[in-house]
Structure 1
Amino acid sequence: HEVAHGWCARLFGDETAARYGRLTLNPLSHLNLTGTLMLFLVGFGWAKPVPV
């Protein structure tokens, strides 16, 4: 989901996500420590937002 935000931003000329190495489908680059822990504790979590 987050990588799609980066791809769309890149289509419009924003290279920020590419510079941060976030245009990848590798889930490890999108994990947020707090969001991942919350996923296991309460069943709701989140990823790191892609900078655009």
Structure 2
Amino acid sequence: MDWVYRGFETSLLGLALCLGLAACLTLDADRPPNGALTITLPMLSVTAPAP
């Protein structure tokens, strides 16, 4: 049964590594222009012009 927990832990570590790498690679991605209102949630990003 220990191998199940080790496999689960290893898969979570791999996922965290992939997400961290993806975050580092997208640091220079398109940014909203200055004066824009940006709301970012874990699975959703919304950008609108500032009022």
TM-score (norm 1): 0.22
Name the one with the larger strand percent. Answer: 2
The structure having more radius of gyration, on CA atoms, is: 2
Name the one with the larger helix percent. Answer: 1
TM-score (norm 2): 0.22
